[in-house]
Amino acid sequence: MEYRKLGETDLTLSAITFGAWAIGGWMWGGADRKEAVKAIQASYAEGVTSIDTAPAYGQGLSEEIVAEAIQGIPRDKVQLLTKFGLRWDVKEGEFFFKSKDAAGNDLDFYKLASKASVIKECEDCLRRLKTDYIDLFQIHWPDATTPIAETMEALALLQQQGKIRAAGVCNYSVDQMKEAAKTFSLASDQVPYSMVLRDIEKELVPYALENKKSIIAYSPLQRGLLTGKIKPGHQFNEGDTREGNRFYTDDNIKKVNAFLETLKPWTKEKNCSIAQLVIRWTIGQPAITVALVGARNAEQAVQNARAIDVKLPPGEIELINKQIAFML
């Protein structure tokens, strides 16, 4: 595994980090807890020491599963990344969207990042994760009802108290990053990034490079689309939000799969899967410190982690970029 420094902090993360959204079941059509625990443990055995989760992922379930999976591992050998600012238990802040829990009950989600809420959520996260500190605490989505400075002040306080080692944001624009920097030194911005979704390269990547901020890429496999395993007519489980998403229309699936066919000579040459090649490409891009990759079982986790063994020098990355530009 490769380990990379996060921004200007003293925090080092595994370049491939376990993304724990899917194991919470929420928006993914369910998950098996025992298999999820095995997936995290198998990932760790392959050198993946960092795990990214959030309270929203299963309304606390993902964090609880992570805590169960890392029992027995020395705390300083694993890095826990979690989030705050997406509440389903209060009706405060900025209304975000309607959803359902695993039992089918209606949930209203609000973006809330007030100082009091941030501090409360930190305590809740610490309890569910069964730890006394969080390595990276991140706002899940910007909250238009709370001044950014107020949120950053809460993070500074938590860092002073030793409850978090570093703080980052998710889904922040460059302007929001600049506003936050007036109050607190952020380590990172976690944003969606993949071969088929590269809009951050216009503004965020140059900003991150200039200001020594890390980018944590989520959904590098575009929620399974870039594995090549999703075919036109694919039936998603009930509650899986990929159903109806623009990336999963039959026409787009056909287009992406045609592109993935052009990558097969690379996979044969390097003796790897398409997914492994895509993961390796992602962490080879400018400013991308780590890629979050989820797994529902141990086999998937091991295969994801072994993407690090794929050798993809800059010249080959550029050739793949040309294929992407031509096909997509």
- Catalytic residue numbers read 57
Amino acid at the residue 182: K
Contact (CB, 8 A) for 226 and 293: no
Contact (CB, 8 A) for 305 and 39: no
C-alpha dihedral (272, 225, 101, 59), degrees to nearest 10: 50
Three-class SS of the chain: CCEEECCCCCCEEECEEEECCHHHCCCECCCCHHHHHHHHHHHHHCCCCEEECCCCCCCCHHHHHHHHHCCCCCHHHCEEEEEECEECCCCCCEEEEEEECCCCCEEEEEECCCHHHHHHHHHHHHHHHCCCCEEEEEECCCCCCCCHHHHHHHHHHHHHCCCEEEEEEECCCHHHHHHHHCCCCCCEEEEECECCECHHHCCHHHHHHHHCCEEEEECCCCCCHHHCCCCCCCCCCCCECCCCCHHHCHHHHHHHHHHHHHHHHHHHHHCCCHHHHHHHHHCCCCCEEEEEECCCCHHHHHHHHHHHHCCCCHHHHHHHHHHHHHHC
Contact (CB, 8 A) for 125 and 55: yes
Kindly report the backbone phi and psi dihedral angles of residue 21, in degrees, each rounded to the nearest multiple of 5, phi listed first. -65, -55
Quote the CA–CA distance of 169 and 166 in Å, as a whole number: 11
